[in-house]
Amino acid sequence: MNGLGGLNKSPNGVVIGLVQLQLPVVTTKADLAAQTERIVAMVGKARRNLATMDLVVFPEYSLHGLSMATDPAIMCSLDGPEVAAFKAACVENRIWGCFSIMEANPDGNPYNSGLIIDDTGTLRLYYRKLHPWIPVEPWEPGDLGIPVIDGPKGCKLALIICHDGMFPEMARECAYKGAEIMLRTAGYTAPIRESWRFTNQANAFQNLMVTANVCMCGSDGSFDSMGEGMIVDFDGTIIAHGTTGRVDEIITAEVRPDLVREARIHWGVENNIYQLGHRGYVAVAGGAGDCPYTFMQDMVAGRYRLPWEDAVVHKDGTACGFPAPTRRYGGKPIAEAAE
């Protein structure tokens, strides 16, 4: 299944384009405006590139680059000019788009946020990265959960960001909430190449879910992002892969949410998303529906703790030049929280 990259589109197909966008340098408001215009232009390229495309996906950091700057002057908001420009581009080109912004947060560090906008310019999905790539990234941990929406052609669509995909619980949550296609946008650089590939495949196979994944591409003079646009079918098979690292290349494929739905209903062996909650259903009616996983029980109870917890070296961002935080999650100062 691929339809020659979406050139041949079936009635039930969804054609996805993954933009291996050139990694920018953005330090000023003028830089931000110029990069916004560049992304808008690439939306137009995506439409011209493939008339059948339903959804164009830009990587994490496509607007801000990899500087990790938290300068308020270049942070974005949902009602700001950058998002307005993305909405207009989706309308003009009659296409859905997935975009990345660093979102101003008046109560703390900025959020690393992802947006999906439909072809009428309506914001359909708004997600804040749950797992920043610590200790390197300074972003506030997300607080919106993982939304799942009705995407193009009625597919069930979710979005996670970069490091999120290294946690199997993230993809499982997407699938548990009904996602048939999970987008993963990233700014990863070359040292993560192999783990990027096998986690994209595992996230798909373990959940009978298509994953569509893309990183920034090229060099900004300091960092080298790898592109690696990668679309994986629900059985873990790679159906499109940008292995050349060519900047601004758009990796495309047709995917079939209807076959995801069919597999989830009809598969016996390896229907893992179902079998997780129905252990051993051959032996006991309906299977065991308990929760035998200590880490899940402890996290819910607020007592998650590793056996080697005290020996962990990196527990804040000071090694990467960030000051130690002074508040707990939710805003309470550390001294007050300890009382």
* DSSP-assigned states of every residue in 65-112: BTS----GGG-B-TTSHHHHHHHHHHHHHT-EEEEEEEEP-TTSSPEE
- Dist CA 138 CA 323 (whole Å): 10
The structure tokens listed for 118 are: 């439909």
Read off the DSSP letter of residue 32: H
With beta carbons less than 8 A apart as the criterion, state whether 55 and 151 touch. yes
Q: Exposed, middle or buried: residue 181 (CB in 10 Å: 0-12, 13-18, 19+)?
A: buried
Cβ neighbours of residue 333 closer than 8 Å, sequence gap 6 or more: 326, 327
- Which residues are identified as catalytic? 60, 129, 162
- Dist CA 132 CA 126 (whole Å): 16
* DSSP-assigned states of every residue in 150-167: E-GGG-EEEEEEGGGGGS
Look up residue 100 and give its amino acid. Answer: S
Question: Which phi and psi angles does 161 have, rounded to 5°?
Answer: -125, 115
- Dist CA 275 CA 244 (whole Å): 38
Tokens 């008046």 belong to residue: 106
Q: Among the residues of 193-313, which ranges form H helices? A: 193-205, 257-266, 272-275, 294-300
- Dist CA 149 CA 96 (whole Å): 13
